[in-house]
Structure 1
Amino acid sequence: MNTGDWLKEVVPDDAQTEANRKTAGHVMRLVSKEAGKYPDVVGVELGGSYAKGTWLAGETDIDVFVKFGRGVPDERFRRVSREIGFDSMVDYNPGERYADHPYVEAAVDGTVVNVVPCYDVELGEWKSAADRSPHHTRLMRERLTENQRNDVRLLKRFLKVRGIYGAQIAVQGFSGYAAEVIILHFGGFEGAVREMANIKLGATIGKSARKFDTPVAIMDPIDENRNLAAAISNRNMGLFVLGCRELAYNPEASPFDARSSASSVGWDNVAVVKFGRGDENSEIIWGQARRAASAMARQMELGGFTIIRHKVLVDDERVCLLFLTESVRIPERVVRVGPDVLRQADAAKFAESEGMVWVSPEMRLLRVEKRAHHTAGALLRHILRDPGRAGIPAGLHHHIRRGASVTVGGRIAQSIKEEAAELVSADEAVFYAARRAGE
């Protein structure tokens, strides 16, 4: 692999580096000034990809961690950190965002700045989700070489172009820290691609204190009980492995080219459920929508439909659940297989039910029944009438009852088709990697 040419696309130039240095210094002064007003705060420091030197050209975020003493109560921790964030960023249109707990986001000179609270604790004494972050920063600053920092940048771009970068629920992909851990473990980008192309089911990257049930485990070097791959969907892990195989098998390939074919199966067999949403935390809505889609897919399969895949779309106003089926229309009647005729009581009960009954060559009773719903649209509308019974999260019931719509096939809006094109498209890397592996 000739990584030299690729690095030009991901390594910041001197002008970007200097501009971000000035912005980071300015932000640190603002946050430190406000933090100094509170005895609860024991330190302020830079974190994230900027502090580690792994940020991508043109895509910098600056994370500032406000460190609280471990004895500060949770309510005060949240309130004071919010005050520091908003007061320090008052001139930059600050807003509150949510991960495992709230933090403040603003845009300073075109750069996204996150003011994140955490507790100042020793390894293993975590009180909040962000407590590991300063330890992550120190680890990577100490152990990554300059070449490896650039290789992290290559890996991040490799993941981004495949749509599998980002640990948020909407993506369920690789975090920046996971990319850093992979490079640190395998020594560089080439080593990571080579090893991941041949990774085995159940493999563990790093040192683990126990077994995990993810296809591949990626261990946090500062916490042997934390599997970074737990936040990565199986599909995204599969796309990463296939992307690595393509790059490993084809020296001419670029890590920045994601093979994706045009629509291959069309929209005729797609059903869409759409409903409005409120101003709830988007991460929460995404999680509920994903669980709702999975629950509805299970109900559709119980109703006789074959679900090939499903997808979720969420924006500021609405939620869409999309289902690609083998067919949106199935036979109105179905054959039910009953008990062996020698099981007298069971056979008698089965025979009493309505419908034609006969004996199969295997000596089992069979009956033809009429399905309650033989179109995907009808079944989905039935499911939505009682969302709780279907296993849809309670947080969505109100929005669904206010007005959920079901659309099938050609009636699906073009805007939804454009956003969800991946649902009916094939990943060409799958076929490319399979062909090369078989040669």
Structure 2
Amino acid sequence: MSDDTGEGEPESGADGAPEDADARTAALEAITERVLERISPDDVERATMHAAAEELLARATAAATDRCPDADVVQVGSTARDTWISGDRDIDVFVRFPPSLDRETLETYGLEVGHETLPEGHEEYAEHPYVTGEYDGFDVDVVPCFRLEAATDIRSAVDRTPFHNRYLEARLDGETADDVRLAKQFLKAIGAYGSNLRTEGFSGYLTELLVVEYGGFRPLLEAAADWHPPVELDPEDHGRARETSSSRNGADGDYPFDDPLVVIDPTDPERNVAAVCSAANVARFQHYAREVLESPRIDLFEPDEPEPLGPDELAAHLDRRETTPIAIRFDAPALVDDQLYPQLQKSLDGVVSGLDRREFDVLRAETFADASAVLFVELAVAERPAVERHEGPPVHVRGHAEGFHDAYADDETVYGPFIDGDRYVVERGRDFTDAISFLESDRLLDVGLGAHVETALEDEYEVLVGSDVSALLEEFGAALRAYFEPTP
């Protein structure tokens, strides 16, 4: 038994799992205690955060009320609700202006307040600009919003955040906050935490809602282990989740969500808090929820960053798989992740579709990005014969069938037309007999690329094939290990 298991924990069977349900429960409790000791902020860290937040709130309040006497300032997010994990260094300061203020003035005041609060800060842009920077070791956002009566009156997405904060503060206590910390750490460890469009995982707000809804970390795990997507939760019983059944049975319900996990925002019934959460991350959470319940281990709470794949290891994978890996590499567009990754995914989908239409069978595909960006496809079939089958309509569909027949009747470059079954068929020459020729041609730009990716490819790109993909190892060695040694 390794040191990670800990002294005094229940005996395990030959496979390392506790032998019965009671033992597994005790093992999970012992492990979560140890995890909490590690991830809970200590008194010094809490005092440092509170002092920093107090100073920032005072600065922001003074700057805001100088410009608008009716303005106020609130701290939001996990540090405000005491659901933060030790080492997380985020303080979110929201400056609320009365709704009578016009949006242009709000943006102007918001930036001025932000710069007075964070003199060394810089501006970033979401739905409207805000100031972000560093103070006393904490990453700080100073965000302007409108102070509204209800979240349904929002003018931009950030207006919801104070409502989220108020809702959760009323429902979290010390024990529940610890369960939230455990849930966040677990989701981080399995790679499913974060609502950015690169991760498409569980946001902090969603995680907190789920823990509150199910009554703790372990009940959430037990529920998730048995989820049958689409999973629909409606914490405040707005009725939107109930509409799902009627809508999907053909009734007149007006259900706007088509996601694997639906959690109706308690403060806004028109919003699914889990909309960004991908089907893969819902499934990933289910897989590891089952695993940690069945075989509690502390390593399931510890992120495991893969070591970069080495050249010999890559060569061994390629020899074993006997596929054709192809990488389209180009300079990454200068976009934030939430803009870049949707464009990369759209581009990858287009490339895969273009290859599949030409019968170059794609086994698996992935995107990587750093200074450069890569559309990586692994082909089961990379070459095709010189001719391809092209089916026309059934002969009995007279108008279309005659049109098809006449189009090819005098074409000496095709075989046919002939009849196979009840329809006309020709065998015609392929535009591309190998995938590399297609990917190196201008036809690549016709597959439905993201706008900035298309611009980058028009400028310059290279196609790496087979063992030449080893050129990616220096920049993407860890990503390639994750690709060639996949786990749930």
- Normalised by the size of structure 2, how large is the TM-score? 0.79
Partner residue in 2 for 1:369: 428
Partner residue in 1 for 2:440: 381
Superposition pairs for residues 39-438 of structure 1, below 5 Å?
39=68, 42-90=71-119, 93-123=120-150, 124-206=152-234, 207=237, 208-209=239-240, 210=243, 211=255, 212-252=257-297, 254-257=299-302, 266=318, 269-277=324-332, 279-315=334-370, 317-341=371-395, 345=402, 348-349=405-406, 351-352=408-409, 353=411, 354-357=413-416, 362-382=421-441, 387=445, 389-412=446-469, 413-421=472-480, 424-425=483-484, 427-429=486-488
- Once the 2 structures are TM-superposed, how far is the Cα of residue 321 of structure 1 from its aligned partner? 2.3
Partner residue in 2 for 1:434: none
Mapped contact 1:164–1:172 kept (Cα < 8 A):
yes
Aligned partners of 1:71, 1:292: CA distance in 2, in Å? 43
Aligned partners of 1:21, 1:223: CA distance in 2, in Å? 30
* Shift in CA distance, 375/33, structure 1 to aligned 2, threshold 3 Å: farther
Aligned partners of 1:405, 1:76: CA distance in 2, in Å? 48
- Once the 2 structures are TM-superposed, how far is the Cα of residue 369 of structure 1 from its aligned partner? 2.9
- Aligned amino acid, residue 387 of structure 2: R
Secondary structure, in 3 states, of the residue corresponding to 2:414?
Answer: coil
Over residues 228-265 of structure 1, what are the superposed CA-to-partner deviations in whole Å (9 max), with x where a residue is unaligned? Answer: 22111222222112121222332456531578999896
Aligned partners of 1:260, 1:395: CA distance in 2, in Å? 29
Secondary structure, in 3 states, of the residue corresponding to 2:181?
Answer: helix
Aligned partners of 1:42, 1:28: CA distance in 2, in Å? 12
- Once the 2 structures are TM-superposed, how far is the Cα of residue 27 of structure 1 from its aligned partner? 1.7
Aligned residues: 424
Mapped contact 2:40–2:86 kept (Cα < 8 A):
yes
- Aligned amino acid, residue 374 of structure 2: C
* Shift in CA distance, 6/299, structure 1 to aligned 2, threshold 3 Å: same
Q: Which moved more, 1:79-88 or 1:226-235?
A: 79-88
Uncovered stretches (5+) of structure 2, i.e. residues with no partner: 1-27, 244-254
- Once the 2 structures are TM-superposed, how far is the Cα of residue 147 of structure 1 from its aligned partner? 1.1
Aligned partners of 1:396, 1:235: CA distance in 2, in Å? 24
1:22 aligned to 2:77?
no
- Once the 2 structures are TM-superposed, how far is the Cα of residue 13 of structure 1 from its aligned partner? 1.4
- Aligned amino acid, residue 327 of structure 2: V
- Aligned amino acid, residue 415 of structure 1: E
- Once the 2 structures are TM-superposed, how far is the Cα of residue 422 of structure 1 from its aligned partner? 6.1
- Once the 2 structures are TM-superposed, how far is the Cα of residue 279 of structure 1 from its aligned partner? 4.2
- Once the 2 structures are TM-superposed, how far is the Cα of residue 5 of structure 1 from its aligned partner? 2.2
Q: Which moved more, 1:114-123 or 1:249-258?
A: 249-258
Over residues 328-369 of structure 1, what are the superposed CA-to-partner deviations in whole Å (9 max), with x where a residue is unaligned? Answer: 444443333334455551562365243223757634444333
* Shift in CA distance, 197/65, structure 1 to aligned 2, threshold 3 Å: same
Percent identity, aligned pairs only, is 25
Secondary structure, in 3 states, of the residue corresponding to 1:172?
Answer: coil
Mapped contact 1:126–1:132 kept (Cα < 8 A):
yes
* Shift in CA distance, 71/278, structure 1 to aligned 2, threshold 3 Å: farther
> Greater CA radius of gyration, 1 or 2?
2
Secondary structure, in 3 states, of the residue corresponding to 1:34?
Answer: helix
* Shift in CA distance, 214/356, structure 1 to aligned 2, threshold 3 Å: same
Partner residue in 2 for 1:32: 61
Mapped contact 1:98–1:283 kept (Cα < 8 A):
no
Dislocated runs of 4+, deviation >6 Å: 258-264
Partner residue in 2 for 1:6: 35
Instruction: Note the aligned Cα RMSD (angstroms).
Output: 2.8
Aligned partners of 2:442, 2:274: CA distance in 1, in Å? 33
Over residues 192-211 of structure 1, what are the superposed CA-to-partner deviations in whole Å (9 max), with x where a residue is unaligned? Answer: 11101100122202245253
- Normalised by the size of structure 1, how large is the TM-score? 0.87
- Once the 2 structures are TM-superposed, how far is the Cα of residue 69 of structure 1 from its aligned partner? 1.5
Secondary structure, in 3 states, of the residue corresponding to 2:271?
Answer: strand
